[in-house]
Every structure is written in C-alpha cells, then in structure tokens.
Amino acid sequence: MKIYWASRHQLTEGQKRMLEDVFFKPPENLEVVEEKVTFTTSTGLVDYIKYRQDAPVVCVAGAVHYLFAFSEHCKFYIFERDRNKNFSSLFHVDGEDNTVTKVAGEMGFSIDRTQPLTTEEEQEEESP
C-alpha cells in the first residue's frame, strides 16, 4: 500500500511505525512517498490532496490548511503533537462526513469516532 507524506519535516521512525500499524502489516509492504512541501496558500493542501487521489495523504501543515481542506470536503490524516512537540497521535480527517477520528496514539483530545465535530455550546445543549 502507498501513502503520501507531505511535510517540510522528515518522517520520524516513531511516525513511520505508527503509520505502519495503521495502514499495513507487514510493514515492508508499505510504501511511503515522502515529499518535502511547504504550503504557501490556503488552497495548497487542498490542491495537493486532490492531485493525489491514488493513495491516502498524511501531512503536517498549519491549521489554516487543515481547516480549508476540511471545508473543501477533503480526506487526509494529520499528526498531533504532545507537550514536548513530539508527534504522538494520528487523526483521520474526513471533510465529506464532517468527522475527525483518532486512529492511533494515546495522548491529547479524542473525538468519538461515530460523531461529527460539534462546538462546546452544542455539546452543552446535548448533555442532560
């Protein structure tokens, strides 16, 4: 299986192991295409994802790029950093279904895999 790694940062061994766990076993059958990119416009990540429809895209980019790609109904994966700025959790962002799903890692926030993102106000309204 092939995946695209889009970041100006090199993929770490820890990130690679996490991707292997999520995407494919045995790991030697996983092809990671590393492309050093820096997105300079808000549409940069969207254009990158749409051009690479043949495999999942895993990226590290600024929040504006994530938000714009989400609003454009893109599907992609992102890493979350821990307090030490290490990448420690992997999330699948699905702009078509309006969901963000934690697929690997143990720290940080977690969103119910079956529920769309909601605001804090909507969450308060739903609680008894």
pLDDT at 124: 55
pTM, two decimal places: 0.77
In this structure, what DSSP letter does residue 128 have?
A: -
- pLDDT per position as a tens digit, 30-89: 888 999 999 999 899 999 999 999 999 999 888 899 999 999 999 999 988 777 767 778
Left (φ > 0), alpha (ψ -120 to 50) or beta: where does 90 sit? Answer: beta
Return the number of other C-beta atoms located less than 10 Å from residue 120's C-beta. Answer: 7
